[in-house]
């Protein structure tokens, strides 16, 4: 047992062993998680010939920047433009998705809402049954006119029924007495939603918001379906095209043309594309994590 002597706390040998084992276990899991990322980074800075000869390694083999030079020399301006497109689409899409999803979730959490069960049923129905790709494409192109439009990168992914039900469950956990007290004070449902429901649901909002942000950041399918203008390509789809072209030329499926005398980095380019894609997310996550911790700690305090 721990004994307090003055300002010092005596920790028993058993407690130190448990704490040491916990630190070791967490460090071990962290190394396992970091190992693939470090290997991807190492391969992206290696030469393609060494990778083909010796395979992947966690230490760069014959350190080289040829792969990044190849990517940015041929498509540097377009990569930066695709980055800007993806960042704008991610910000606008995430904010719009959170607004739509949270408002619907809050509405369905109100038991007095007319046709509440019917609306929830129709939303749930779309998870189980889908009209298919062709009707979806026809509606987006002929009704919404999304072809070669930036809205094509935002609107099709703006609402997720799964995220809506997740948020609704969280809104249901808010004590109804808070809503009733606000109504007695003359607050409308919009004011209750904005001033009570949202501030009490920060953890859920951040979780769902991160899901939407990752969905928009990693999306290439909407660009494949609707975008023909290369200047409007998002980052994921643009890098996908580069990777496909390099693999096709390297394999000899299509004539290389001007690249006939150049050895294309078919292996290392895959890893370089991965690093370019996930870089901003990795740097952004530590800034978002503290809000998750704050939200969890706030929700754990009883008043």
Question: How confident is the model over 149-166, as a mean pLDDT?
Answer: 91
Give residue 104's pLDDT. Answer: 92
How far apart, in Å, are the Cα atoms of 258 and each of 73, 254, 265? 15, 12, 15
- Is residue 32's pLDDT more than 70? yes
DSSP single-letter state for residue 258: G
Task: Give the Cα-Cα-Cα angle 286, 204, 217 (nearest 5 degrees).
Answer: 55
Structure tokens given for 69: 């030079």
The confidence band for 302, taking pLDDT boundaries of 50, 70 and 90, is: very low
pLDDT, average across residues 281-288: 72
Distance CA 2, CA 53 (A): 58
Q: What is the mean pLDDT of residues 196-214?
A: 87
Q: What is the mean pLDDT of residues 228-247?
A: 82
Residue 119 main-chain phi, psi, to 5 deg: -65, -45
In Å, what is the CA distance from 217 to each residue of 63, 120, 154, 223, 229?
30, 28, 11, 12, 19
Closest CA to 238 of 123, 102, 113, 74: 74
Long-range contacts of 36-39 (CB under 8 A, 24+ apart): 37/282
Instruction: Choose between 196 and 254: higher pLDDT.
Output: 196
Query: Where residue 255 falls among pLDDT bands split at 50, 70, 90?
Result: low
Specify the pLDDT at position 303. 43
What is the average pLDDT across 76-96?
90
Bridge partners, 5 (sequence order) = 8
The mean pLDDT value for 265-275 works out to: 76
End-to-end CA distance of the chain: 31
Using an 8 Å Cβ cutoff, are 58 and 42 in contact? yes
Global pTM value:
0.78
d(CA 69, CA 50) in angstroms, rounded, equals 17
Mean pLDDT on 180-209: 87
Return the higher-pLDDT residue of 54 and 143: 143
- Phi first, then psi: what are they for 237, rounded to 5°? -70, -35
pLDDT above 70: residue 230 = yes
> What percent of the chain stands above pLDDT 90?
19
- Mean predicted confidence (pLDDT) in 247-269: 59
Q: In degrees rounded to 5, what are phi and psi of residue 4?
A: -95, 120
- Dist. CA 29–CA 22, nearest whole Å: 11
Looking at residue 264, its pLDDT comes to 59
- Interval 101-118 mean pLDDT: 90
> Average pLDDT for residues 257-277, to the nearest whole number?
67
Residue 191 has pLDDT above 50, yes or no: yes
């Amino acid at each position: 047992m721990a004994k307090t002597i003055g300002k010092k706390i005596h920790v028993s040998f058993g407690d130190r062993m448990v704490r040491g084992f916990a630190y070791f276990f967490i460090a071990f899991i962290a190394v396992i998680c970091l190992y693939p990322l470090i290997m991807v980074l190492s391969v992206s800075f290696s030469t393609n010939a060494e990778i083909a000869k010796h395979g992947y390694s966690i230490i760069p083999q014959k350190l080289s920047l040829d792969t990044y030079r190849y990517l940015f020399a041929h498509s540097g301006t377009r990569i930066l433009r695709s980055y800007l497109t993806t960042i704008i689409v991610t910000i606008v899409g995430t904010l719009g998705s959170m607004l739509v999803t949270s408002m619907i979730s809050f509405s369905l959490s109100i038991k007095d809402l007319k046709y509440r069960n019917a609306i929830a049923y129709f939303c749930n129905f779309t998870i189980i049954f889908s009209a298919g790709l062709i009707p979806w494409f026809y509606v987006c192109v002929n009704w919404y006119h999304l072809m070669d439009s930036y809205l094509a990168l935002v609107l099709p992914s703006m609402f997720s029924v799964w995220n809506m039900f997740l948020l609704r469950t969280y809104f249901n956990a808010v004590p109804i007495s808070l809503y009733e007290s606000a109504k007695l004070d003359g607050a409308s449902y919009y004011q209750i939603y904005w001033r009570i429901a949202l501030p009490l649901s920060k953890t859920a909002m951040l979780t769902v918001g991160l899901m939407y942000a990752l969905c928009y950041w990693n999306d290439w399918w909407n660009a494949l379906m609707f975008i023909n203008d290369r200047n409007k390509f998002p980052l994921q789809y643009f890098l996908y095209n580069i990777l496909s072209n390099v693999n096709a030329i390297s394999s000899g499926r299509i004539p290389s043309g001007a690249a006939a005398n150049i050895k294309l980095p078919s292996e290392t380019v895959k890893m370089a594309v991965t690093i370019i894609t996930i870089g901003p997310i990795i740097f952004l996550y530590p800034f978002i994590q503290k809000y998750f911790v704050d939200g969890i700690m706030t929700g754990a305090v009883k008043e």
